[in-house]
Amino acid sequence: MKTRTYLITIALGIFAFGPLLQAEEKQTSESAVLAEELLILLNGQKNVDAVFQQMGKIQDQSAISMGATPEAKERQQKMREAINAEVKTIINWDTIKPMFISIYSETFTPDELQGMIAFYKTTLGQKWLEKQPQVQLATMQRIQSIMAEAQPKMQEAIKRAMQVEMPKEQK
């Protein structure tokens, strides 16, 4: 008797929730398609490539400002190139595109994705996309400047934190 009740409960559950699960699967599928369309409009691949170029410029500027010897600069350059090459094999558009599709389709509803797609197809949306790399570069440069100014204070804070007060007996 208990087995029969259990089976009936499972069957009713599948019957009742089956359409909901199918609707969620359909929405997820629709969201994934819309998310991919949005990523194309957002120039996802181009932006990933631009980030690597910007990182290279910042690394070069950092190396110049450090005042290293030409030999040290050359070693640092080779090391950066080797690291960047390895990072590009791990983080590239083909490897991160599915992640972005998943994030966008899990975060936004199909209606929200459609609204964003509609916006980015407008003149204003295209202008925003065109100027976004400039905004990102300016932001990165200003944050780098803020961090450079804050570095002595951070180093001093680390020194203070690392100083251990000696017990009175050892003084």
DSSP 8-state class, residue 168: G
pLDDT at 87: 80
Contacts 24+ apart (CB under 8 A), 62-70: 62/144
Residue 128 near residue 52 (C-beta atoms within 8 A): no
**Least-confidence region, from 4-18, 52-66, 146-160:** 4-18
Q: For residue 83, what are its two tokens?
A: 């690291």
Residue 35 near residue 49 (C-beta atoms within 8 A): no
Tokens 């070693």 found at: 75
pLDDT bucket at 38, cuts 50 / 70 / 90: very high
Counting Cα atoms < 13 Å in the Cβ hemisphere of 160 gives: 6
pLDDT tens for 78-132 read: 888 888 788 888 888 888 999 999 999 999 999 999 999 999 999 999 999 999 8
Cα(31)–Cα(14) distance, integer angstroms: 24
When pLDDT is averaged across residues 158-165 and rounded to a whole number, the result is 79
With the C-alpha atoms ordered 102, 108, 109, 114, is the resulting torsion angle positive or negative?
Answer: negative
pLDDT tens for 39-84 read: 999 888 887 777 777 777 766 666 666 667 788 878 888 888 888 7
Please tell me the pTM assigned to this model. 0.56
Residue 75 near residue 26 (C-beta atoms within 8 A): no
Alpha-carbon distances of 34 from 46, 82, 93, 108, 122, rounded to whole Å: 19, 36, 18, 10, 17
pLDDT tens for 12-29 read: 444 444 443 343 444 468
